[in-house]
Structure 1
Amino acid sequence: MKLLDERVWALFKRNWYQTLTYWSVFFSFGLCIAFLGPTILDLRCQTQSTLQQITWVFFSQQFFLLVGSSLGGLFKKTLLSSLSALFSCTLIISLVFAIIPLCHHVILLSIAMAIAGKAMGVIDTIANLQLVKMYQRDSAIFLQALHFFIGLGALVSPLVADPFLAEDSCVLGTNWTTNSSSSSSADLHHLRSSMAGHGTALHNISQYPLHTEGTVITRVSYAFWIMALINLPVPAAVLTLMYYERLLPCFSNSPRLLAKDSSPSSAEDSGQGHGSVFNCCNPAKLRGRPPTFFLLHILGGAILFITDGIIGSYAGFVYTYAVSPPLLMGHKTAGYLDSVFWAAITAGRLASIYLSYRYTAPRLLTFSLVGVILVQCMLLIFYTSCVFLFIGTCVLGLCISSVFPSLLAFIEDLLNYKGCATTVLVTSASTGEMILQLIVGSVIHSQGSYAFLLCCTIASFIGFCLFLLLLYVQHIHRNGDTDSTKNTDMKEKPNPGGS
């Protein structure tokens, strides 16, 4: 059995270099999004700041990622602007990696992470947009692969950072010794695991006072310089694509990868269709649209708000839940849960490349969302089992992994690739990842760690109900399109019995 039919394979061969380039920029995205959690304590030492101060770095990255996602559509009007933005953003990420060791104040570090976050948001929107434009009805397969590379990058950066992380306190005071440090190696491991989810579990770690004055002995700078070098081939690949597409003024005679009319996106390079979230709300563009057009955007965005929020919340709080009663899991063992979750998401997206070819997006989404609900309910039932927490974490990652790329391809197909779906969905997902974590963190702080599972389960039920409503709206929307097409055909058809 062939993995891809000849038509899809021929389409990939015609666009292979562009596709691989967009995949590589998502590796850069994943590389940047996952390093902050493991390295945050060493960065706290480097900036000689408190835990409360250093968590603003997380907020800075997440907020400007949201800003970049909402503005990313502005760069899609031409292939030149899209690739120029991708080149700039991937190069910025390497530069940020290189200058982070030079940021010795938390404000400077927050500014650097804000710049990186905005670059990540632009990458998120543009790469999704370009693949959807390029492959249209076949985009689901290639979007699954695109999001696999986020997971791959997210797995690489902690591995690069790990050998350079401090085993004990990385700030040594003049009037105390290492043995009298307020935090042991086990405490530092606990702190790192607690802060892995974008620093949202601050209320659980503020009990650990850490020194801010003294001699900094961290070696984490080497990890950032290595990641800067690892990321450098990505902007080089984008620049090469610009060369082959004759988009560099000094290389106008370079070979062209695609004929002008061979890409499905050529018809849309006029700048119509996608844009920033603000451009999508332009009343002139929305006039005459049926109500279902808006409902599809709203429901799709709401589903991704919830599912990406679940991913962020689970990654952020599963460690906190594991080390709290009734599980009371060991710090080192619980620290593996976050890695298991992201590894399962990466594996799920790899498997979904094939599944999205074999099954339609609605069927794949139904299976995924039902699976998420079932595993969350099982986690609630077996809430005292450490073994099942690992099993459930793995299954949850596998089930939820394909929701974003499948839903994006589905919504764009419903709207015939003429709306602002990609920009709206990417922005909604980024918003959910940031907002839902804050909500879940507040509930855990007031109600206890068990509320973490309860919140995620309730959110998954709401997400599935919204998906059922989405299926109903898409049925109405397609029937409306069919009726309007029939009416147009009848108006254009000549009347044979006319005078």
Structure 2
Amino acid sequence: MTPPDERIWSLFKRHWQHTLTYWSVFFSFGLCIAFLGPTILDLRCQTQSTLQQITWVFFSQQFFLLVGSSLGGLFKKSLLSSLSALLCSTLVISIVFAVIPLCYHVVLLSVALAIAGLSMGVIDTIANRQLVKLYQKDSATFLQALHFFIGLGALVSPLVADPFLADDSCVLGANLTANSSSSSPDLEHLRSSLAGQGAVSGNISQYPLHTEGMVITRVSYAFWIMALINLPVPAAVLALMFHERLLFCPRSSPPLLDKNSSSRKSHSLDDEGHGSLFGCCHPAKIRGHPASFFLIHALGGAILFITDGIIGSYAGFVYTYAVSPPLLMGHKTAGCLDSIFWAAITIGRLASIYLSYKCSAPKLLTFSLVGVIVTQCLLMIFYTSCEFLFIGTCVLGLCISSVFPSVLAFTEDILEYKGCATTVLVTCASTGEMMLQLLTGIVIHSQGSYAFLLCCTVASFTSFCLFLLFLFARHIHTNLYTDPSEDTEMTEKPKTDSS
């Protein structure tokens, strides 16, 4: 029996080009998901719109990311269709980066970001699904690495944008004599509030920013640089298509799994599984599986709905909480919290690459979810401590970082890589990130900033309870129910590369 680390390395050497390509498209995803917050005020100046108008671009991107996550499951028939969708999506992201400086109206900017969000959703579903199909029972380690690249891209784009952001008001009034020294602190506070998509929590109309006058901004250079940084990604997808001879011989698509896998098995994976979200509800699929099969889908999706919602809510409102009573933290200090949180998530996913093949998925998820609960409870207990808010933010990011890839790999493993698990889970995660941010913002607006910690703590307990139900449903599915068609397929399954 080959040791786990040697088997993982052997699998990676066999599929290194596919793997690096899927990792690179998630870097593109991360680039696109993190640029909007830091640049939103400069884009407001560029479009000469109000703050209320410009915040709609957040919704535009998030909503179409959700739509793209569902539609990504449609590209499932062959490796050609999946890689073609990734090529188009990553190329569209570069084009959107290049076009954003030319969008001088908020409606045009919203359309551009909707197109980017659609591409991001397609990337999210396809890259996760292809890695799961490629590595199957060994996919957890590679999924952790995949999601590390989101964090890497999310760290790069703000660094690229920062030198080109306006220090003062970038739209001067008609008299061209804006008092930059007095407006700068408000702009810094406002930029940090908007960076986490938390504008709904406060009265943003209190900031008297000009919409008419001379526009002074250099943010266009940041977007053009990001467009160039992203261009190697579609080039990598194109190189993979050339390597697989899909550009000239589209009819002879090579098997995505290892050479020892039968063609019938590959056909089964493509035709039966990983379809669109709505294709999962087809009567022919429903009749062939026990109730536990769908319960596992529902519980896995609910866990990711809540945990990704916690990530979105915490990143969105931790700044608002820090600058409000009782902490009353300075704007510059509080502005570091969001960056620390995302850096901790990135580091946590890097560490989880090692942990995912040393620990089983249930153990890693139990440790992660309990860590999230304990951290949230301690944040509520020490709610007056600025120092502990920084410590808690870092620990929370480390604990919650591995949940999404671990749940995805664990669910697919339980369901024997059939059904629509990847599409359902990715879509639920995107929905939760959008909806829980909105709900948390409404609660904060009506009940005060402390409700932010309460919402996240309640969500943490709920996610752990759902995980316990998930383990119970897994026990029922694997021990009490038997699908004859699945048993037949399992007995015919060829040996894996573990020998």
Please state which band the TM-score falls in when normalised by the shorter chain.
over 0.9
The 5-angstrom pairing of residues 202-221 of structure 1 reads 203-221=202-220
| Counterpart residue number, 2:242 | 243
The yes-or-no answer on 1:357 pairing with 2:357 is yes
Tell me the distance in 2 between the aligned counterparts of 1:71 and 1:252. Answer: 24
| Counterpart residue number, 2:379 | 379
Tell me the distance in 1 between the aligned counterparts of 2:93 and 2:391. Answer: 35
Tell me the distance in 2 between the aligned counterparts of 1:82 and 1:359. Answer: 31
| Alpha-carbon distance change, 3 to 23 in structure 1, aligned in 2, over 3 angstroms | farther
The yes-or-no answer on 1:411 pairing with 2:406 is no
Tell me the distance in 2 between the aligned counterparts of 1:409 and 1:304. Answer: 12
Question: Any idea what the Cα deviations from partners look like across 1:294-330, whole Å, max 9, x if unmatched?
Answer: 1000000000000000000000000000000000000
| Alpha-carbon distance change, 258 to 78 in structure 1, aligned in 2, over 3 angstroms | closer
Tell me the distance in 2 between the aligned counterparts of 1:292 and 1:11. Answer: 32
| Counterpart residue number, 1:348 | 348
* Contiguous gaps of at least 5 residues in structure 2: 490-499
Contact 1:201 1:317 in 2 (8 A): no
1:340 to partner: Cα distance: 0.2
Contact 1:194 1:205 in 2 (8 A): no
1:190 to partner: Cα distance: 0.6
Question: Any idea what the Cα deviations from partners look like across 1:389-412, whole Å, max 9, x if unmatched?
Answer: 000000000000000000000000
| Counterpart residue number, 1:157 | 157
Tell me the distance in 1 between the aligned counterparts of 2:105 and 2:295. Answer: 46
1:481 to partner: Cα distance: 4.2
1:198 to partner: Cα distance: 2.4
Identity of aligned residues (%): 79
* Contiguous gaps of at least 5 residues in structure 1: 490-499
Tell me the distance in 2 between the aligned counterparts of 1:202 and 1:48. Answer: 23
| Counterpart residue number, 1:497 | none
1:280 to partner: Cα distance: 1.1
Tell me the distance in 1 between the aligned counterparts of 2:56 and 2:315. Answer: 19
Contact 2:173 2:214 in 1 (8 A): yes
Look up the equivalent residue of 1:33 and give its one-letter code. Answer: I
The 5-angstrom pairing of residues 287-326 of structure 1 reads 287-326=287-326
| Counterpart residue number, 1:106 | 106
Tell me the distance in 1 between the aligned counterparts of 2:80 and 2:482. Answer: 36
SS of 1:143's equivalent in the other structure is: helix
Question: Any idea what the Cα deviations from partners look like across 1:372-400, whole Å, max 9, x if unmatched?
Answer: 00000000000000000000000000000
TM-score (norm 1): 0.93
SS of 2:75's equivalent in the other structure is: helix
| Counterpart residue number, 1:436 | 436
Look up the equivalent residue of 2:85 and give its one-letter code. Answer: A
SS of 1:326's equivalent in the other structure is: coil
SS of 1:167's equivalent in the other structure is: coil
Question: Any idea what the Cα deviations from partners look like across 1:132-157, whole Å, max 9, x if unmatched?
Answer: 00000000000000000000000000
Look up the equivalent residue of 1:9 and give its one-letter code. Answer: W
SS of 1:324's equivalent in the other structure is: coil
| Alpha-carbon distance change, 207 to 486 in structure 1, aligned in 2, over 3 angstroms | closer
| Counterpart residue number, 2:327 | 327
Q: What is the aligned length?
A: 486
Per mean C-alpha deviation after superposition, the further-off stretch among 472-481 and 85-94 is 472-481
The 5-angstrom pairing of residues 87-486 of structure 1 reads 87-179=87-179, 184-201=183-200, 203-249=202-248, 261-262=259-260, 266-268=266-268, 270-481=270-481
1:110 to partner: Cα distance: 0.1
| Alpha-carbon distance change, 180 to 95 in structure 1, aligned in 2, over 3 angstroms | closer
Look up the equivalent residue of 1:355 and give its one-letter code. Answer: L
SS of 2:202's equivalent in the other structure is: helix
SS of 1:209's equivalent in the other structure is: coil
| Counterpart residue number, 2:20 | 20
Tell me the distance in 2 between the aligned counterparts of 1:113 and 1:149. Answer: 21
1:266 to partner: Cα distance: 3.1
Contact 1:373 1:460 in 2 (8 A): yes
Tell me the distance in 2 between the aligned counterparts of 1:106 and 1:486. Answer: 52
The yes-or-no answer on 1:38 pairing with 2:38 is yes
Contact 1:308 1:433 in 2 (8 A): yes
| Alpha-carbon distance change, 101 to 180 in structure 1, aligned in 2, over 3 angstroms | closer
1:268 to partner: Cα distance: 4.0
Question: Any idea what the Cα deviations from partners look like across 1:158-212, whole Å, max 9, x if unmatched?
Answer: 000000000000001222402278x621111111110112254353433112100
SS of 1:211's equivalent in the other structure is: coil
User: RMSD of the TM alignment (CA)?
Assistant: 2.3
Contact 2:269 2:418 in 1 (8 A): no
The yes-or-no answer on 1:68 pairing with 2:68 is yes
Look up the equivalent residue of 1:153 and give its one-letter code. Answer: G
| Alpha-carbon distance change, 180 to 400 in structure 1, aligned in 2, over 3 angstroms | closer
SS of 2:480's equivalent in the other structure is: helix
Question: Any idea what the Cα deviations from partners look like across 1:239-261, whole Å, max 9, x if unmatched?
Answer: 0000000100289999x897984
Contact 1:26 1:123 in 2 (8 A): yes
Question: Any idea what the Cα deviations from partners look like across 1:351-385, whole Å, max 9, x if unmatched?
Answer: 00000010000100000000000000000000000
Tell me the distance in 2 between the aligned counterparts of 1:487 and 1:94. Answer: 46
Tell me the distance in 1 between the aligned counterparts of 2:4 and 2:43. Answer: 46
Question: Any idea what the Cα deviations from partners look like across 1:87-145, whole Å, max 9, x if unmatched?
Answer: 00000000000000000000000000000000000000000000000000000000000
Tell me the distance in 2 between the aligned counterparts of 1:17 and 1:288. Answer: 36
| Counterpart residue number, 2:492 | none
SS of 1:213's equivalent in the other structure is: coil
Question: Any idea what the Cα deviations from partners look like across 1:68-93, whole Å, max 9, x if unmatched?
Answer: 00110100210000000000000000
Tell me the distance in 2 between the aligned counterparts of 1:487 and 1:416. Answer: 11
Tell me the distance in 2 between the aligned counterparts of 1:153 and 1:4. Answer: 29
Look up the equivalent residue of 2:231 and give its one-letter code. Answer: L
SS of 2:21's equivalent in the other structure is: helix
Per mean C-alpha deviation after superposition, the further-off stretch among 282-291 and 219-228 is 282-291
Contact 1:345 1:398 in 2 (8 A): yes
| Alpha-carbon distance change, 298 to 253 in structure 1, aligned in 2, over 3 angstroms | closer
SS of 2:25's equivalent in the other structure is: helix
Per mean C-alpha deviation after superposition, the further-off stretch among 292-301 and 199-208 is 199-208
| Counterpart residue number, 1:492 | none
Per mean C-alpha deviation after superposition, the further-off stretch among 286-295 and 105-114 is 286-295
| Counterpart residue number, 1:80 | 80
SS of 1:271's equivalent in the other structure is: helix
Question: Any idea what the Cα deviations from partners look like across 1:416-441, whole Å, max 9, x if unmatched?
Answer: 00110000000000000000000000
1:11 to partner: Cα distance: 1.0
1:4 to partner: Cα distance: 5.3
Look up the equivalent residue of 1:193 and give its one-letter code. Answer: S
SS of 1:206's equivalent in the other structure is: helix
